[in-house]
Amino acid sequence: MITLLRRLGADRSGASAIEFALIFPILFMIHIGAAEALQAFVAQRKVSHIAATMADITARNRVVTTADMNDILGASVAMMYPFPTTRLQQRVSSMSADNNGSVKTDWSSSKDYKDLNSPAMPSGYLRPNESVILTEVIYNYEPTFGIFLSDDIRMSRHAYVRPRLSAKVEKTD
């Protein structure tokens, strides 16, 4: 009996399996955490890209119609793929300053945008008689696994682009 116990105590053939069983849950959690963080980063990059692209496309026009703005807003929703778009909010606005430098909103188009406040321009951004296209994109990212990032993450991006072909982008209906 003592010989059997000595032989079992000296046997190391299952040590690596036991070490793997102890380390696997830690490695699995690190992998899930990295995947969650990467997904959140990709969603944030898509939100930034949508804001910049909507502003750029709008600023390339002299005149836009409601149909044009619906196309721009609809195309930007497609850019969010493969993430769910039900949590995406977008607004495109034209802001201009008068002769005195007072900034006002010329027009605004939105899709699922819930903030009822007027678009805001940073102080001193526009000089008198200048105009800019302002886009605002908000996305409430819901983590896939919810292990490390348990709450929704609100991602918000703005883009400011000056009109390219005219002093101001006009909107007609």
Domain boundaries, the chain: 16-172
**Average pLDDT of the segment spanning 50-66:** 94
- The answer to whether 119 and 71 have CB atoms below 8 angstroms apart is no
Identify the pLDDT of residue 160.
94
pTM equals: 0.80
Q: How far apart are CA 114 and CA 155, in angstroms?
A: 14
> pLDDT (tens digit, 9 = 90+) per residue, 121-158?
888 888 888 999 999 999 999 887 777 777 888 999 99
The sheet carrying 131-141 orders its strands as: 103-111, 88-97, 131-141, 153-161
Q: Which of 104, 90, 10 is nearest to 2 (CA)?
A: 10
Identify the pLDDT of residue 131.
93
